[in-house]
Amino acid sequence: MTKKIVPDEQLLPLCKELIKTEIATLNDIPRALANTLANEYYRFIMLAAPHIKERLTEKITLSLLKEELLSGELNFGSADETKSPPKVQLAAALAAVEAIAQFIGILRGIDKEKDPIQYRSTVELITDYLKYDIEDAGGKLLLKRFFERAVKKTNKQIKEQIPDLIDYIDM
């Protein structure tokens, strides 16, 4: 029996606000991908919150959070910092949320009615990068990525996600 993950109620409004400011909505994105995106934003907020000096309010943007993180004691590029797992995780979470806006811009630029195959392929590619953390997913054939997904699932190497997080944040 697996333990149900329950999100921190204090972080949910922050997660929702960050999604709104960065990509506006998740309503036009397939549910599974929307939940993955919500989890990426939530993970970033959860990891960033302890490093923010100012009290986090519901009026946040990624650029303000990034500025606050980089102006503090966090030096992502220094040799001793790269050995600290929490800071490495935070840097990876920051990179993921920075990429999401670009990914979603590309996805929204595809007419899913006229080109459903390209739309679905792009959804799969974004999922492979974010949920399955498949290195160089864009340079691999879909069949190879499916195989890597299966291996990661079997080895339990998938990022932990809160099921139905989008329902918690009402997006």
pLDDT in tens, 47-93: 998 887 766 666 788 988 888 888 765 555 444 444 456 788 999 99
**Residues 132, 63 share a domain:** no
Which residues in the chain land under pLDDT 50? 1, 77-83
- Regarding whether 86 and 16 lie in a shared domain, the answer is yes
Same domain for 134 and 54? no
**Is 165 within a domain?**
no
Do 120 and 80 reside in the same domain of the chain? no
Residue 74, pLDDT score:
55
Enclosing domain of residue 129: 110-157
Q: Would residue 129 count as lying in a domain?
A: yes
Residues 75 and 48 in one domain: yes
72 and 37 assigned to the same domain: yes
Do 126 and 76 fall within a single domain? no
In this structure, the answer to whether residues 83 and 124 fall within a common structural domain is no
Residue 93 within any structural domain of the chain: yes
Q: Is residue 169 part of a domain?
A: no
26 and 90 housed in the same domain: yes
The answer to whether 160 and 132 have CB atoms below 8 angstroms apart is no
Q: Identify whether 133 is part of a domain.
A: yes
DSSP 54-78: SPP-S---HHHHHHHHHHTT--TTS
Residue 2 lies in a domain: no
Q: How far apart are CA 54 and CA 4, in angstroms?
A: 31
Q: What is the pTM for the complete model shown?
A: 0.87
Count of domains for the chain: 2
Measured from the Cβ of residue 64, the count of other Cβ atoms closer than 10 Å reads 15
pLDDT score recorded for residue 79: 45
User: Is 148 contained in some domain?
Assistant: yes
Look at residue 50 and tell me if it is in a domain. yes
